[in-house]
C-alpha cells in the first residue's frame, strides 16, 4: 500500500464521515426545533397582550408584562388600587407549594434514608416480610384509595390542609426506598465491620459513616421529593376540594384552563406556568448528573 | 301526509298550550297575584296560613331570634360557606355583605366564606358526595335538584320562606324548585337556556329565522354561525324538535330518551345536514377551550357572525363587537324531514339550595332567600346580566327591554324544562356522540350508523 | 431453550426472544401469582398454628408471673422487677380495652346490619344502622329538618373505623404475644441465674441491636395509617354497592359480594366490553410508549455522543430543558396547541383532529407521539451517561478486528445498554400502564364513544378508575378496577423478577 493510496482512503473515509455528521446536525437541529417549539410558544404567549388561545402568529402582536403582574395583583380602576387577583391567588399558591415541597422533601428524605439503610445494612427477622409488603403495596395504583385517605385526614382534623398534604406525601415516601437502597448496597460492608470493632453502635455508623458517604443519593432523593409536589395535580385537587386558599400551583393553573375561565385567563396561565418552570428547569439542569446517577445506579442493581 | 298534518297540528296545539300557560309569567301580564294564589295551594304547608311577608319587622325579628339561637350553640358565631360559580364571586360577595348588614344583631357575628371552586354545574354532585362538609348554601342548575332530594342532601324550604318564594316568583320558577309539591330550592335566574346572539352588521333582524340561509350568508361574508353540536346540552335541541320523548321521572330515578325511533333518526340526519356545512359558514364545536372562550374569541377575531349560547356570553360579545351591533333572537329553524322546523331548546333555571346537614338551617335559609330576593335579582341583572325570576324584578323597565330577555321569551314556547326532562344519567351516557361524530365526519354518516349510535344511547340508559 | 442456543443468537434475535418470552410469560406469571398467594396464605396459617403451639408451651412451662401475664399483661415483667416494661404492657392492655369499649366495638357490630333501602325493601348487610331522621319544624323557618345530623350513620366512617379496629386488634395481638414471650424469656433468664436487662440497657439496644425498630417505627406507622388502611378500605368497597345511588349519609350502602366483579367480567355487557377495550388499549399503549421512547432515546444519545459532533453539551441541554419543565405544564400546552381549533392548526391553516377524531386513530397516535416528546429526553439523558461508561478499549480492539461502525453498535454498544437498562425498561413498561398524566392532561381519555361506559377511546385503566371515582361516583366499580390493575402489575413484576434473575445468570456466564 503506497502513501497516496492510504491518503486517498483516508480522505474518502473523512468525507463520508463528514457527510454523516452533516446529516446528524440537520436531524438534531430539526429535533431541537420540534422539542423547543411548545416551550417557546408558551413563553411567547405569556408576554402577549391579546388573550388569543390559537393565534395565527407565533410572536405576540402586542408585547406586555401584565400577565406576570396580574398573577400577584390586579389593578382595580374603580377603587384605584391594586387588589388580590381573586379567583386565582397565584402568589398564595406559590407559597403553599413551596412550603409543602420543602417540608415534604425534608421529612421524606429522612424517611427514605432511614428505611433504605435498615433494609440495606441491617439484618433482622422480619426484613424479608417487610420488603415483600413494600413491593406489594407499591403495585396498587396510587390514587385508588384517595377517598379513604381523605376520610382518615378528616378524622385527624387535617383535611384540606397543607399539613395534611405534607403528611400524605411523607407517608407515601416510605415505599420509595429502592433507589437509595441500591446505593447503600454499593457501600462496602467492611466499613461497618471496622467501625463495629471500634465499638461504634449501628446508630453511630448510620450518622457518622454512611450518611457522609451518601451525598449523591441524598441530593437525588431531596431533589425528587422536592419536585413532586410541584407537578402533582390528581391528589391535591381531590384533597383540597373547594378550599382554594390551600391549592398548589398545579391545581390552580389547571383550573385556569377550565372552559369558564380559559377565555380570560389563558395568557395568565402561560405566565404562571413559565414562572414555576424556570426555577425548576434550572434546578434540574444543574442536578441532572445526580438524577442520572440515581436512576442508573438503581437500574444496575435491579 | 295525514301523519304529517297531525304532527304539525299537535305541535301547534302544544305550542299554544305552552304559550298560554307561560303568558302568566311574562312581565306584560298583570295577573300575577292570581297565579301565585293558585300555586300557593299546590305548595302544601304554605297554603293554609296567609303568607307572612319576610320584610315585616316582626317576621324578621323571629328569624333573627332563631339565628341567634343557632349562633349560641356555636359560640356566638354564624359560620356559613357559600358556593357560587367562578366569576360570580365578587358580585355575590357584595350581596353577602349586604345580607350581613341586613341581619346584623348583637347576639352573633357572621363568618361567611364564599368559594367558587364548584360552579353551578358541579355543586349538586359535590354536595351529594359529602354533604356533611359541603357548603351550607350553594348555587346550582335546576336539574340537579331531584338527585339531591333522592340523596337526602338538600333541605326543604321552610314554609315561611316558601310562602314568599311562591308569591314573588314566576310559576315556572317555583315549579322547577319543587319535587312532589314541596319546594327545595330558591329560584335565582331564569336564563339557564340558550338562544342566538348575532352580529347585526352581518344579519338584518329578519334574516335570522332559518339556519340554512344564515349559514349561506355567513359563508358569503367569510364568517360562521356557531352551534355546538358536540355539546350534549345544545344538541339535544334537535331531538326535542323531532318530537322524541325525553323525560326524567324523579321518584323512580328513570330516564327516558326515545332516540331509537324514526324521530330520533330524523334528528340525527338534521344534525348531519348542518354538519355538512362545517367550515363553510358553520362551526359545530368549540374544541377543548369550551363554548365561552370560543365564542368570545370568534367574535373578537371576526370569524363568527352568530352563535347559539346563553346570557353569560352576552357581556363578552358586547365587548368584542360593540353593544350596538349585538342582536339576540330565538333559535332559527332547521331542515328536518324535508321541512323547516323551529328548533326547540332547554329552558332552565339557576337556583340556590340549602344543605340538609347544615349546622345553621335558619341562617342558611335566610341567606339563600336574601340572595334571591327582588333587590338581589335586579342587582344581579345589572352587574352580571342574568335574567330574574322575581315577578316584580321582571317589571323593571331596563330588564323588560333587554334584548336577551326578549330572545328568551320568544324561545320560551319551544323550551323544555330541564329538571323534568333529564337527570344525571342522561349526561352520563354521552348522548352527544351523534353530534361529535357528525362534526368529525362533516355529516357523512350512513343511516345505519346514526341508528347504531342512537340505539347505544338508549341501551345505556336502560342498563343504568 | 438452553443457554448455548441463547448466546448464539444475534442481539436482534435476543431482543425478539426476550420480548416473546415476556409476553408468553404472562399466563405463567398469573398462575405463579396465584400459587404465591396460596403459599403465602398457607404459610400464614402455619405461622399462626406455630404461634399457638408456642403460646401453649410457654403457658404450661411458665411460672406464676408468666401465667398471670396471660391475663394481666406485663405481670411477668413486674414479678421479675422489669417495672418499666411491665407498665408499658399493662398500659397497652388498658388502652386497648378502653378503645374497644368506648369506640371500636360498636363498629364491628354495625358492619352488617339490616335496613331499609330507597325502594322500601328490607336488605341485609347494610353498613350502619340509621340514615337521616326527619323532624317537624313548627316555626316554618327550616322545613322538615334532619334532627340527627350529628349521629346519623355514615357507611364510609363505619367501614373505615371497622378496618381501623381490626388493624388495632391485630397490633394488640402482636403486643400480647410479645408480652407472653417477654415474661417467659425473663423467667428463663432468672432461672438460668443471669440478670435480666435493665431498662437503660433495653433503651440502649434500640440504638444498636434493635436499631432497625427505631429507624422503621415511624415510617411503618405512617404507611399503615395512610397507605395500608386506605387500601384495605378500598378493597372492601369493591364488595359493596357504593355508587352514585348509595352515597352516605343520605343513603347507606351494603355488601353485595362479587356482583361488581361479575359486572366487569360478563354480566353487564357495556361495562365488560368497556373493560376489555380499555385493557387492550392499555397494553398496546404501554408497549408503544415504552419502546418508542427507549429506542429513539438511545438513537438520539448516540447521535449526540457520536465522535466529531460538536457542541455536545448544547444539544444535550436543549433536550434536558424540555424534560425539566413540569410535565403537567408541557402536557397542558400540548393539549391547547393540538386542539382541532388550536394554534398548530391555525398556523398551518389545517384542520387536523389530533385529539378529537372520533374513530380514535388520530388521538391514539397523537398521545404516543407526545409521549415520545416527553420521554425521549429522559432516555437520552440516562443512556448518554451509560455510553460514556463503555470502556474505550473495547471499541479500540473492535476496530483493530476490522469492525465497522454498525457492527460496533450491534456488538458492543447496544448489548451493553440493553443489558444495563433491562430493569429500567420493564419498570417503565409498568409505569406506562399507570401513566395517568399523559392521557389525562392531553385527551382526558377522549374522544368519547357511544359504546364505552364512562370512558373514552384513549382511556387507560387508571384514568378510567379516576373518572369513575371523581366524575360518576361509581366507587365500587373503581375499586374493582384498582384491584385488577394491581393484579396486572403484580403479574408484570413477577415476570420482571424472573427475567432479571435470568439476566443475572447471564452476567455470571460472561
pLDDT at C330: 93
Cβ-Cβ contacts under 8 Å, C340 against chain B: 285, 287
pLDDT at B12: 46
Contact A144/C345, CB-based, under 8 Å? no
Residue in B closest to C362 by C-alpha: B440
**What's the mean pLDDT when you consider all of chain B?**
85
pTM: 0.87
CB B226 within 8 A of CB B391: no
Q: How many CB pairs under 8 A join A and B?
A: 59
Closest residue to A244, CB basis, from B117, B293, B301: B117
| Other CB atoms within 10 Å distance of the CB of residue B49 | 11
**Is the Cα torsion angle C25, C28, C34, C39 positive or negative in sign?**
negative
Cα separation, C360 vs C458, whole angstroms: 7
Q: Which domains does chain A have, with CATH numbers?
A: 3-83 (no CATH), 90-301 (1.10.3720.10)
Q: For A52-71, what is the mean pLDDT?
A: 90
Shortest CA gap B246–chain A (Å): 27
Cα separation, C96 vs B119, whole angstroms: 46
Please write the tens of the pLDDT for every residue from B25-55: 333 333 333 333 334 334 344 444 567 888 8
Please indicate whether residue C497 or residue C448 has the higher confidence score (pLDDT): C448
- Interface with chain C: mutation pick from A98, A101, A174, highest number of C CBs within 10 Å: A174
**Is the Cα torsion angle B203, B207, B208, B214 positive or negative in sign?**
negative
Residue B406's SS3 state is helix
| Residues with Cβ within 8 Å of residue A220, at least 6 apart in sequence | A179, A180, A287, A290, A291, A293, A294
When pLDDT is cut at 50, 70 and 90, the band that residue C507 belongs to is: very low
Cα separation, B20 vs B452, whole angstroms: 39
Give the total residue count for chain A: 302
Cα separation, B268 vs C478, whole angstroms: 33
Contact A259/B290, CB-based, under 8 Å? yes
CA distances from B371 to B96, B187, B367, B380 (A): 8, 10, 6, 9
Contact A171/C315, CB-based, under 8 Å? no
Please write the tens of the pLDDT for every residue from B102-149: 999 999 999 999 998 888 988 999 999 888 889 999 999 988 898 898
- Name residue, grid cell 324548585: B177
CATH code 1.10.3720.10 region(s) in chain C: 267-509
Cα separation, B118 vs B129, whole angstroms: 13
Choices 3.90.1150.30, 3.40.190.10, 1.10.3720.10, 1.20.58.100: CATH for B31-191+349-395 = 3.40.190.10
Chain C CB within 8 Å of residue A26 CB: no
Residues 96-155 of B with CB under 8 A from A: 115-119, 126, 133, 135
Q: Is the peptide bond before C447 cis (omega within 30 degrees of 0)?
A: yes
Residue B67 has pLDDT above 50, yes or no: yes
Considering only the C-alpha atoms of chain B, give the largest distance between any 2 of them, rounded to a whole number of Å: 74
Residue C510 has pLDDT above 70, yes or no: no
| Other CB atoms within 10 Å distance of the CB of residue C310 | 9
What are the helix (H) ranges across A47-173? 66-72, 90-121, 127-137, 146-155, 162-173
- Interface with chain B: mutation pick from C136, C138, C142, highest number of B CBs within 10 Å: C142
Closest CA to B144 of B433, B405, B428: B428
Q: For B295-299, what is the mean pLDDT?
A: 88
Chain B CB within 8 Å of residue A260 CB: yes
pLDDT at B40: 38
| Other CB atoms within 10 Å distance of the CB of residue C313 | 9
Cβ-Cβ contacts under 8 Å, B452 against chain C: 450
Cβ-Cβ contacts under 8 Å, A296 against chain C: 382, 385-386, 420, 424
Chain C CB within 8 Å of residue A33 CB: no
Residues 392-431 of C with CB under 8 A from A: 420-421, 423-424
Cα separation, B144 vs B424, whole angstroms: 7
Chain A CB within 8 Å of residue C220 CB: yes
When pLDDT is cut at 50, 70 and 90, the band that residue A8 belongs to is: low
Sort strands B282-283 and B224-226 into parallel, antiparallel or unpaired: parallel
Residue A139 has pLDDT above 50, yes or no: yes
CB C182 within 8 A of CB C85: yes
Q: Which three cell numbers stand for residue A76?
A: 382595580
C12-50 burial code (b ≥16 CB/10 A, e <16): eebeeebeeebeebeeebbebbeeeeeeeeeeeeeeeee
Q: Which CATH superfamily does the domain covering C267-509 fall into?
A: MetI-like (1.10.3720.10)
Closest residue to A141, CB basis, from C326, C421, C465: C465
Please write the tens of the pLDDT for every residue from C334-373: 999 998 888 999 899 888 889 888 888 999 999 999 999 9
Give the total residue count for chain C: 510
Sort strands B304-309 and B326-329 into parallel, antiparallel or unpaired: unpaired
C89-126 burial code (b ≥16 CB/10 A, e <16): bbebbeebeebbeeebebbeebbebebebeeeeebebb
Contact C326/A201, CB-based, under 8 Å? no
Cα separation, A247 vs A150, whole angstroms: 15
Least confident of A231-240, C8-17, C394-403, C449-458: C8-17
Cβ-Cβ contacts under 8 Å, C336 against chain B: 288-289
Closest residue to B156, CB basis, from C144, C270, C356: C144
Cα separation, C284 vs C44, whole angstroms: 38
pLDDT at C359: 85
Least confident of A3-12, A32-41, B275-284: A3-12
Sort strands B109-115 and B77-83 into parallel, antiparallel or unpaired: parallel
C387-416 burial code (b ≥16 CB/10 A, e <16): beeeeeeebeebeeeebeeeebbebbbbbb
Cβ-Cβ contacts under 8 Å, A159 against chain B: 133
Contact C142/B362, CB-based, under 8 Å? yes
Q: Which three cell numbers stand for residue C375?
A: 420521554
Cα separation, C404 vs B422, whole angstroms: 71
Cβ-Cβ contacts under 8 Å, C270 against chain B: 459-460, 463
Please write the tens of the pLDDT for every residue from C478-493: 999 999 999 888 887 7
Domain map of chain B by residue range?
Answer: 31-191+349-395, 195-347+417-463
Chain B CB within 8 Å of residue A48 CB: no
Sort strands C134-135 and C145-146 into parallel, antiparallel or unpaired: antiparallel
List, as own/partner pairs, every contact residues B92-101 make where C-beta atoms lie below 8 angstroms and the sequence separation is at least 24, other chains included: B92/B371, B94/B379, B94/B383, B95/B370, B95/B371, B95/B376, B95/B379, B95/B380, B96/B367, B96/B371, B98/B370, B98/B376, B99/B366, B99/B367, B99/B370, B99/B371
Cα separation, C337 vs C348, whole angstroms: 12
What are the helix (H) ranges across C9-114? 11-61, 64-68, 75-79, 83-99, 105-110
The ipTM assigned to this model is 0.89
Cα separation, A272 vs C382, whole angstroms: 30
pLDDT at B45: 41
Q: Which helix (H) or strand (E) holds C470?
A: helix C461-470
Closest residue to A244, CB basis, from B115, B289, B301: B115
Chain B CB within 8 Å of residue A161 CB: no
Please write the tens of the pLDDT for every residue from C194-242: 887 788 888 888 888 889 999 999 999 999 999 999 999 999 999 999 9
DSSP character string of B1-36 = -HHHHHHHHHHHHHHHHHHHHHHTTSTT--THHHHH
Q: What percent of chain C has pLDDT over 90?
A: 36
Cβ-Cβ contacts under 8 Å, C142 against chain B: 155-156, 158, 361-362, 365
Residue B378 has pLDDT above 80, yes or no: yes
**What's the mean pLDDT when you consider all of chain C?**
86
pLDDT at A111: 95
Cβ-Cβ contacts under 8 Å, B293 against chain A: 53, 259, 262-263, 266
Residue C289 has pLDDT above 60, yes or no: yes
CB A93 within 8 A of CB A252: yes
pLDDT at A259: 80
Closest residue to B293, CB basis, from A53, A241, A255: A53
CB C462 within 8 A of CB A139: no
Q: Which three cell numbers stand for residue B414?
A: 319551544
Contact A259/B293, CB-based, under 8 Å? yes
Shortest CA gap C321–chain B (Å): 27
Closest CA to B227 of B297, B282, B264, B265: B282
Contact A277/C227, CB-based, under 8 Å? no
Q: Which three cell numbers stand for residue A6?
A: 492510504
Cβ-Cβ contacts under 8 Å, C245 against chain B: 150, 253
Cβ-Cβ contacts under 8 Å, C448 against chain B: 430, 432-433, 436
Closest residue to C385, CB basis, from A152, A175, A296: A296
Closest residue to A54, CB basis, from C341, C485, C504: C341
Please indicate whether residue A92 or residue C190 has the higher confidence score (pLDDT): A92
Same fold, B31-191+349-395 and B195-347+417-463: yes
Cα separation, B444 vs B272, whole angstroms: 7
Give the total residue count for chain B: 464
- DSSP character at residue B310: -
Closest CA to A35 of C334, C27, C245: C334
A25-62 burial code (b ≥16 CB/10 A, e <16): eeebeebbeebebbbebbbbbbbbebbbbbbeeeebee
pLDDT at C270: 83
Residue C124 has pLDDT above 50, yes or no: yes
Can you name the residues that pair with B114 across neighbouring β-strands? B82
**Is the Cα torsion angle A42, A46, A47, A50 positive or negative in sign?**
positive
When pLDDT is cut at 50, 70 and 90, the band that residue B168 belongs to is: very high
Residue B332 has pLDDT above 90, yes or no: yes
Chains adjacent to B (≥3 CB pairs closer than 8 angstroms): A, C
Residue C149 has pLDDT above 80, yes or no: no
Cβ-Cβ contacts under 8 Å, B294 against chain C: 341
Q: For B396-409, what is the mean pLDDT?
A: 88
Q: Which three cell numbers stand for residue B314?
A: 352576552
Beta strands in chain A (DSSP E): 74-76, 81-83
Contact C327/A175, CB-based, under 8 Å? no
Cα separation, C129 vs C148, whole angstroms: 13
**Check whether domain B195-347+417-463 has CATH 3.40.190.10, yes or no:** yes
Q: How many CB pairs under 8 A join B and C?
A: 132
CB A104 within 8 A of CB A222: no
Cβ-Cβ contacts under 8 Å, B162 against chain C: 140, 143
Q: Which three cell numbers stand for residue C498?
A: 424472573
Cα separation, C377 vs C297, whole angstroms: 7
pLDDT at A4: 61
Shortest CA gap A284–chain C (Å): 6
Least confident of C77-81, C147-151, C242-246: C147-151
Amino acid at each position: 500500500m503506497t502513501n497516496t493510496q492510504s491518503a486517498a482512503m483516508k480522505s474518502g473515509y473523512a468525507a463520508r464521515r463528514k457527510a454523516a455528521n452533516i446529516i446528524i446536525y440537520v436531524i438534531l437541529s430539526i429535533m431541537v426545533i420540534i422539542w423547543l417549539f411548545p416551550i417557546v410558544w408558551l413563553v411567547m404567549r405569556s408576554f402577549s397582550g391579546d388573550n388569543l388561545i390559537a393565534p395565527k402568529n407565533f410572536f405576540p402582536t402586542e408585547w406586555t408584562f401584565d400577565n406576570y403582574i396580574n398573577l400577584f395583583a390586579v389593578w382595580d380602576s374603580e377603587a384605584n388600587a391594586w387588589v388580590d387577583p381573586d379567583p386565582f391567588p397565584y402568589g398564595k399558591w406559590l407559597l403553599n407549594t413551596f412550603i409543602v415541597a420543602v417540608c415534604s422533601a425534608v421529612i421524606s428524605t429522612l424517611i427514605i434514608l432511614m428505611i433504605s439503610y435498615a433494609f440495606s445494612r441491617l439484618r433482622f427477622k422480619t426484613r424479608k416480610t417487610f420488603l415483600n409488603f413494600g413491593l406489594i403495596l407499591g403495585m396498587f395504583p396510587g390514587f385508588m384509595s384517595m377517598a379513604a385517605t381523605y376520610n382518615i385526614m378528616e378524622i385527624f382534623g387535617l383535611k384540606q390542609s397543607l399539613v395534611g398534604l405534607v403528611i400524605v406525601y411523607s407517608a407515601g415516601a416510605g415505599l420509595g426506598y429502592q433507589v437509595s437502597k441500591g446505593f447503600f448496597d454499593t457501600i462496602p460492608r467492611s466499613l461497618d465491620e471496622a467501625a463495629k470493632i471500634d465499638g461504634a453502635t449501628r446508630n453511630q455508623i448510620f450518622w457518622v459513616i454512611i450518611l457522609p458517604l451518601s451525598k449523591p443519593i441524598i441530593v437525588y432523593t431531596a431533589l425528587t421529593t422536592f419536585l413532586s409536589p410541584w407537578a402533582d395535580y390528581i391528589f391535591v385537587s381531590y384533597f383540597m376540594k373547594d378550599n382554594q386558599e390551600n391549592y398548589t400551583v398545579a391545581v390552580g393553573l389547571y383550573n385556569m384552563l377550565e372552559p369558564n375561565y380559559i377565555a380570560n385567563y389563558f395568557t395568565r396561565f402561560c405566565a404562571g406556568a413559565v414562572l414555576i418552570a424556570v426555577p425548576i428547569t434550572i434546578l434540574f439542569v444543574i442536578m441532572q448528573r445526580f438524577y442520572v446517577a440515581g436512576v442508573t445506579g438503581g437500574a444496575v442493581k435491579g | 301526509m295525514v301523519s304529517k298534518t297531525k304532527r304539525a297540528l299537535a305541535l301547534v296545539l302544544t305550542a299554544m298550550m305552552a304559550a298560554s300557560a307561560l303568558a302568566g309569567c311574562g312581565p306584560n301580564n298583570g295577573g300575577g297575584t292570581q297565579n301565585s294564589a293558585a300555586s300557593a295551594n299546590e305548595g302544601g304547608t304554605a297554603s293554609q296560613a296567609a303568607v307572612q311577608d319576610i320584610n315585616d319587622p316582626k317576621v324578621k325579628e323571629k328569624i333573627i331570634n332563631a339565628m341567634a339561637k343557632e349562633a349560641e350553640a356555636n359560640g356566638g358565631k354564624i359560620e356559613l360557606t357559600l358556593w357560587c360559580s367562578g366569576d360570580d364571586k365578587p358580585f355575590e360577595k357584595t350581596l353577602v355583605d349586604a345580607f350581613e348588614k341586613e341581619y346584623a344583631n348583637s347576639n352573633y357575628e357572621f363568618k361567611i366564606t364564599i368559594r367558587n371552586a364548584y360552579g353551578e354545574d358541579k355543586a349538586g354532585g359535590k354536595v351529594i358526595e359529602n354533604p356533611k362538609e359541603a357548603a351550607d348554601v350553594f348555587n346550582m342548575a335546576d336539574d340537579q335538584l331531584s338527585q339531591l332530594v333522592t340523596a337526602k342532601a338538600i333541605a326543604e324550604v321552610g314554609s315561611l320562606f316558601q310562602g314568599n318564594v311562591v308569591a314573588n316568583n314566576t310559576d315556572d320558577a317555583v315549579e322547577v324548585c319543587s319535587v312532589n309539591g314541596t319546594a327545595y330550592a330558591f329560584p335565582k335566574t331564569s336564563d339557564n337556556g340558550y338562544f342566538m346572539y348575532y352580529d347585526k352588521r352581518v344579519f338584518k333582524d329578519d334574516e335570522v329565522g332559518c339556519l340554512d340561509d344564515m349559514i349561506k350568508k355567513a359563508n358569503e361574508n367569510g364568517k360562521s354561525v356557531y352551534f355546538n353540536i358536540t355539546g350534549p346540552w345544545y344538541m339535544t335541541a334537535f331531538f326535542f324538535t323531532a318530537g322524541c320523548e325525553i323525560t326524567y321521572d324523579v321518584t323512580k330515578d328513570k330516564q327516558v330518551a326515545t332516540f331509537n325511533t324514526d324521530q330520533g333518526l330524523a334528528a340525527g340526519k338534521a344534525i348531519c345536514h348542518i354538519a355538512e356545512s362545517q367550515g363553510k359558514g358553520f362551526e359545530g364545536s368549540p374544541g377543548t377551550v369550551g363554548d365561552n372562550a370560543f365564542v368570545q374569541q370568534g367574535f373578537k377575531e371576526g370569524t363568527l357572525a352568530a352563535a347559539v349560547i346563553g346570557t353569560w356570553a352576552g357581556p363578552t360579545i358586547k365587548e368584542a363587537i360593540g353593544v350596538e351591533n349585538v342582536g339576540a333572537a330565538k333559535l332559527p329553524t332547521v331542515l328536518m324531514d324535508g321541512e323547516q322546523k323551529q328548533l326547540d331548546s332547554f329552558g332552565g333555571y339557576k337556583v340556590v339550595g340549602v344543605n340538609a346537614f347544615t349546622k345553621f338551617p335558619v341562617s342558611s335559609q335566610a341567606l339563600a332567600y336574601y340572595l334571591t330576593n327582588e333587590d338581589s335579582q335586579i342587582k344581579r341583572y345589572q352587574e352580571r346580566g342574568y335574567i330574574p325570576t322575581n315577578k316584580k324584578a321582571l317589571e323593571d323597565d331596563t330588564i323588560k327591554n333587554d334584548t336577551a330577555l326578549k330572545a328568551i321569551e320568544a324561545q320560551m314556547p319551544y323550551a323544555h324544562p330541564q329538571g323534568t326532562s333529564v337527570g344525571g344519567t342522561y349526561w352520563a351516557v354521552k348522548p352527544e356522540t351523534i353530534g361529535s361524530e357528525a362534526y368529525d365526519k362533516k355529516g357523512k354518516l350512513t343511516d345505519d350508523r346514526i341508528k347504531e349510535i342512537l340505539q347505544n344511547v338508549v341501551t345505556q340508559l336502560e342498563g343504568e | 431453550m438452553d443457554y448455548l442456543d441463547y448466546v448464539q443468537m444475534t442481539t436482534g434475535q435476543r431482543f425478539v426472544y426476550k420480548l416473546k418470552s415476556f409476553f408468553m410469560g404472562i399466563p405463567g406469571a398469573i398462575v405463579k401469582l396465584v400459587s404465591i398467594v396460596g403459599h403465602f396464605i398457607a404459610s400464614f396459617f402455619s405461622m399462626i398454628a406455630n404461634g399457638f403451639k408456642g403460646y401453649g408451651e410457654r403457658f404450661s412451662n411458665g411460672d406464676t408471673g408468666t401465667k398471670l401475664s396471660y391475663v394481666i399483661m406485663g405481670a411477668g415483667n413486674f414479678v421479675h422487677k422489669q417495672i418499666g416494661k411491665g407498665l408499658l404492657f399493662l398500659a397497652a392492655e388498658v388502652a386497648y380495652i378502653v378503645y374497644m369499649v368506648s369506640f371500636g366495638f360498636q363498629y364491628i357490630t354495625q358492619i352488617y346490619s339490616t335496613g331499609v333501602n330507597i325502594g322500601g325493601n328490607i336488605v341485609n348487610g347494610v353498613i350502619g344502622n340509621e340514615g337521616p331522621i326527619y323532624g317537624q319544624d313548627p316555626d316554618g323557618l327550616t322545613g322538615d329538618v334532619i334532627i340527627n345530623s350529628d349521629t346519623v350513620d355514615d357507611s364510609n366512617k363505619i367501614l373505615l373505623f371497622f378496618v381501623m379496629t381490626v388493624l388495632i386488634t391485630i397490633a394488640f395481638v402482636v403486643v400480647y404475644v410479645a408480652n407472653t414471650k417477654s415474661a417467659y424469656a425473663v423467667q428463663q433468664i432468672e432461672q438460668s441465674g443471669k440478670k435480666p436487662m435493665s431498662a437503660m440497657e433495653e433503651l440502649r439496644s434500640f440504638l444498636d441491636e434493635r436499631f432497625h425498630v427505631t429507624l422503621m417505627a415511624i415510617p411503618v406507622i405512617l404507611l399503615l395509617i395512610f397507605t395500608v388502611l386506605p387500601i384495605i378500605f378500598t378493597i372492601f368497597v369493591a364488595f359493596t354497592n357504593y355508587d352514585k345511588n348509595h352515597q352516605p349519609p343520605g343513603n347507606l350502602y351494603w355488601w353485595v359480594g362479587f356482583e361488581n366483579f361479575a359486572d366487569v367480567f360478563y354480566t353487564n355487557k357495556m361495562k365488560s366490553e368497556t373493560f376489555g377495550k380499555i385493557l387492550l388499549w392499555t397494553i398496546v399503549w404501554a408497549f408503544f410508549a415504552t419502546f418508542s421512547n427507549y429506542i429513539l432515546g438511545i438513537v438520539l444519545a448516540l447521535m449526540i455522543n457520536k465522535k466529531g459532533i460538536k457542541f455536545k453539551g448544547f444539544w444535550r441541554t436543549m433536550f434536558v430543558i424540555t424534560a425539566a419543565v413540569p410535565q403537567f405544564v408541557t402536557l397542558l400546552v400540548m393539549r391547547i396547541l393540538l386542539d382541532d381549533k388550536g394554534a398548530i392548526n391555525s398556523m398551518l391553516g389545517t384542520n387536523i383532529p389530533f385529539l378529537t377524531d372520533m374513530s380514535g386513530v388520530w388521538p391514539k397516535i397523537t398521545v404516543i407521539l407526545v409521549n415520545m416528546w416527553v420521554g425521549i429526553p429522559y432516555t437520552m439523558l440516562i443512556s448518554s451517561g451509560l455510553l460514556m461508561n463503555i470502556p474505550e478499549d473495547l471499541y479500540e480492539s473492535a476496530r483493530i478486528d476490522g469492525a465497522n461502525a454498525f457492527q460496533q453498535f450491534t456488538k458492543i454498544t447496544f448489548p451493553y445498554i440493553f443489558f444495563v437498562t433491562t430493569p429500567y425498561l420493564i419498570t417503565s413498561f409498568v409505569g406506562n400502564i399507570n401513566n395517568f398524566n399523559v392521557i389525562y392532561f392531553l385527551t382526558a381519555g377522549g374522544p368519547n364513544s357511544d359504546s364505552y361506559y364512562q370512558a373514552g377511546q384513549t382511556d387507560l385503566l387508571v384514568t378510567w378508575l379516576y373518572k369513575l371515582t371523581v366524575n360518576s361516583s361509581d366507587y365500587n366499580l373503581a375499586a374493582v378496577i384498582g384491584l385488577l390493575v394491581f393484579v396486572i402489575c403484580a403479574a408484570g413484576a413477577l415476570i420482571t423478577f424472573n427475567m432479571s434473575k435470568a439476566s443475572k445468570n447471564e452476567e455470571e456466564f460472561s
